[in-house]
Chain A
Amino acid sequence: GAVVSQHPSRVICKSGTSVKIECRSLDFQATTMFWYRQFPKQSLMLMATSNEGSKATYEQGVEKDKFLINHASLTLSTLTVTSAHPEDSSFYICSARATTSENNEQFFGPGTRLTVL
């Protein structure tokens, strides 16, 4: 149980295009989902917290107009990187916290590796 999927797993795009990444909780409902970014040899950096039915909460320094988050249902959150640039190339990972979680554990998706040319 507690499986989180991400799609796509890998994407290469041209500079200036937009990329959408989907995060789904497959066998549980997730009121809250989290979007992280991880650069090589660095730790996870929380970008934003996504709550179903409300606006996402962005961390300081993360541009909300560039990284659009939509949490349309209890099992799906999407991150759209708009007008992507090479410096946006990174490993993007989502996680989901079950509505019935006892220890607030976050279940991670497999990640999406974005390369912007």
Chain B
Amino acid sequence: GQNIDQPTEMTATEGAIVQINCTYQTSGFNGLFWYQQHAGEAPTFLSYNVLDGLEEKGRFSSFLSRSKGYSYLLLKELQMKDSASYLCAVMDSNYQLIWGAGTKLIIKP
């Protein structure tokens, strides 16, 4: 079956760095997405990786290793507004998005 695993919840301190991991097992691979979702709102796109390596975009970076079925989202200089759920999603061979359950990130002052 298809499976996406990510931690349920993480806590970090304002100004610090946090890494959210995601491992996946899917039928085929056409890219991995990270989305941010604030409570009661729809997800917003953060990053897309289809090749191995690190993609940096401001305070956020995303890494992919296809051979290991592994990705992480790195958030630097954490701000209180970064408190949200972070969803990892993999696009399978049918171009369907397979979603992880999300990681709730709690930022403390």
Contacts and interface: CB of A to CB of B under 8 A. Distances in A.
The interface centre, meaning the residue of B30, B35, B42, B91 with most chain A CB atoms within 10 A of its CB, is B42
Interface string B80-109: 000000010001000111011110000000
A107 B45 contact: yes
A64 to B, nearest CB: 17
Given A43-B101, A44-B87, A46-B97, A103 B42 contact: no
Interface of B is mostly: loop
Contacts of A43: 87, 99-102
A109 B42 contact: yes
Given A43-B101, A43-B102, A46-B97, A105 B41 contact: no
Given A43-B87, A109-B42, A110-B41, A104 B102 contact: no
B30 A104 contact: yes
How many chain B residues sit at the interface, stated as a range, is: 20 to 34
Interface in B27-73: 30-31, 33, 35, 40-45, 48, 50
Given A108-B42, A110-B41, A103 B96 contact: no
B43 A104 contact: no
A42 interface: yes
Contacts of B48: 103, 105
A113 B87 CA distance: 20
Contacts of B30: 104
A108 B101 contact: no
Contacts of B44: 108
A49 B30 CA distance: 18
B101 A106 contact: no
Given A103-B50, A104-B91, A44 B45 contact: no
Cβ-closest 9 pairs across A and B: A108-B42, A43-B101, A111-B42, A43-B99, A44-B99, A93-B42, A103-B48, A110-B42, A43-B102
10 contacts: A34-B97, A43-B102, A44-B99, A103-B48, A104-B31, A104-B91, A107-B45, A108-B45, A111-B42, A113-B40
